């Protein structure tokens, strides 16, 4: 394995994040803080508890996931799209690094930035809402697994997109609505049928449910099912990326 190649790509992507610190870190933390102020403090104080948890504390895992998904996709998709756009991707492809090492460098950097962002949001949330983490190990496990999985998904989007507008289509038109409808602000058990059953076809439900279980020990879906669905999506993304590099789809003329 060419560790030097992985490290070079990783360091380059991380350096880009530090150069755009306001956009990469400060802006998502600030926007999520507004959610905590409005929904957690202002509205949450006037709402009843959900599953024995105050509303402000209940929405924390959902808000973290909302930022984590969007930032993982954004970081990874832009990271690989810009070399495609500028033509420097051919230098990467001709370098003595394998497709696995290329993916490890770009996705590793994107996932690292997203994990740091998620932890910063959790620290910021403590300023507005009191919460507990019953299972810290599983909280970190879901955080890391989700960041890596959706960074892989963002990497696919970056390879697929042929202009800057396409980079925003799937995150804005698909991921964000699925997150809002996936139990970020409510328990799916509060929904009437058939909407409760239909919601189970939303993959984001399993991410938020598993992550919330790590905090409070309550979940809309069994935690083993949530973990299995996340791993399944990760394997699916890996399979698609392997096919892209094997066929040269969108990366070779």
The answer, yes or no, to whether residue 238 has pLDDT greater than 90, is yes
Is the residue at 252 inside a domain? no
How many domains does the chain fold into? 1
Q: Tens digits of per-residue pLDDT, 22-60? A: 666 777 777 777 777 777 666 666 677 788 888 888 888
- The model's confidence at residue 253, banded by pLDDT at 50, 70 and 90, is low
Query: What is the C-alpha to C-alpha distance for residues 77 and 71, in angstroms, rounded to an integer?
Result: 10
Two structure tokens written together for 221: 């879906």
Residue 150, in any domain of the structure: yes
Residue 82 lies in a domain: yes
Is position 253 within any domain?
Answer: no
Q: Which domain holds residue 33?
A: 3-247
Banded model confidence at residue 169, pLDDT cuts 50, 70, 90? confident
Residue 211 above 90 pLDDT?
A: yes
User: What is the rounded CA–CA span in Å between residue 102 and residue 121?
Assistant: 29
- What is this structure's pTM? 0.91
pLDDT computed for residue 11 by the predictor:
92
**What pLDDT shows up at residue 215?**
95
Distance in angstroms (rounded) separating the CA atoms of residues 206 and 142: 11
- Residue pLDDT, tens place only, 105-135: 999 999 999 999 899 889 888 888 888 899 9
DSSP string, 129-160: -----S-HHHHHHHHHHHHHHHHHHHHHHHHH
Tokens coding 239: 């399979």
């Amino acid at each position: 394995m060419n560790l030097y190649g992985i490290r070079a790509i990783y360091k380059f992507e991380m350096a880009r994040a530090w150069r755009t610190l306001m956009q990469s870190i400060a802006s998502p933390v600030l926007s999520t803080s507004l959610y905590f102020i409005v929904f957690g403090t202002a509205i949450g104080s006037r709402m009843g508890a959900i599953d024995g948890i105050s509303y402000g504390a209940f929405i924390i895992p959902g808000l973290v996931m909302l930022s984590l998904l969007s930032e993982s996709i954004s970081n990874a998709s832009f990271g690989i799209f810009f070399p495609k756009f500028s033509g420097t991707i051919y230098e990467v492809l001709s370098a003595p690094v394998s497709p696995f090492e290329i993916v490890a460098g770009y996705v590793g950097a994107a996932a690292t930035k997203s994990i740091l962002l998620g932890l910063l949001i959790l620290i910021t949330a403590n300023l507005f809402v009191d919460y507990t983490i019953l299972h810290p190990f599983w909280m970190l496990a879901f955080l890391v697994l989700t960041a890596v999985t959706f960074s892989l998904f963002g990497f696919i989007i970056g390879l697929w997109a042929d202009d800057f507008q396409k980079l925003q289509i799937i995150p804005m038109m698909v991921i964000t609505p699925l997150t809002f409808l996936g139990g970020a602000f409510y328990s799916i058990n509060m929904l009437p049928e058939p909407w409760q059953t239909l919601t189970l076809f939303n993959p984001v439900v399993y991410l938020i449910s598993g992550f919330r279980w790590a905090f409070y020990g309550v979940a809309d879906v069994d935690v083993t099912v949530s973990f299995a669905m996340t791993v399944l999506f990760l394997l699916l993304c890996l399979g698609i990326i392997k096919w892209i590099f094997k066929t040269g789809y969108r990366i070779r003329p």
